[in-house]
């Protein structure tokens, strides 16, 4: 199963399928695709619901992207492989986990203590859901 899932998702790592929200930023224009994981039960493959935004997180209409059929009113739920293929076709390649918040902290830099903001991430879901 691991070999198959690795070949299916290519650059969406197995670890990223264990978190609820992932994103990819398109290099050309800074647009973002944000994918929210949908889990039904342990036997049902993971699905993803997407939102595409400009660099300032303003939504981009579906009509501007060849991801979903024009005029479709309900959002499509993509299998992991479908998400990767559709996103890659319009330039979204490098996937990362989306932070869930920011935490203030302190860090020593060149002998001085500085205030920093650290991104917080959710813990991965340990359940092995099927990807296909």
Give the model confidence (pLDDT) of 50-63 as tens digits.
888 889 988 887 55
Residue-wise pLDDT for 6-49, tens only, equals 333 445 677 788 999 999 999 989 999 999 999 999 999 999 99
DSSP string, 41-107: -TTSPPEEEEEEE-TTSPBPPGGGSTTS-TT--SPP-EEHHHHHHHHHHTT---EEEPP-EEEEEEE
Residue with tokens 């959710």: 122
């Amino acid at each position: 199963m691991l070999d198959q899932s690795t070949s299916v998702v290519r650059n969406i790592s197995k670890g990223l399928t264990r978190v609820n929200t992932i994103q990819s930023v398109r290099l050309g224009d800074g647009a973002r695709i944000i994918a929210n994981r949908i889990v039904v039960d342990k036997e049902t493959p993971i699905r993803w619901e997407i939102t595409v935004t400009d660099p300032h997180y303003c939504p981009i209409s579906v009509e501007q992207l060849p991801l979903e059929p024009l005029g479709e009113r309900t959002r499509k739920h993509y299998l992991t492989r479908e998400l990767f293929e559709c996103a890659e076709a319009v330039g979204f390649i490098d996937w990362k986990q989306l932070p869930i918040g920011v935490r203030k902290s302190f860090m020593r830099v060149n002998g001085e203590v500085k205030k920093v903001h650290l991104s917080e991430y959710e813990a991965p879901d340990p359940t092995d859901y099927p990807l296909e």
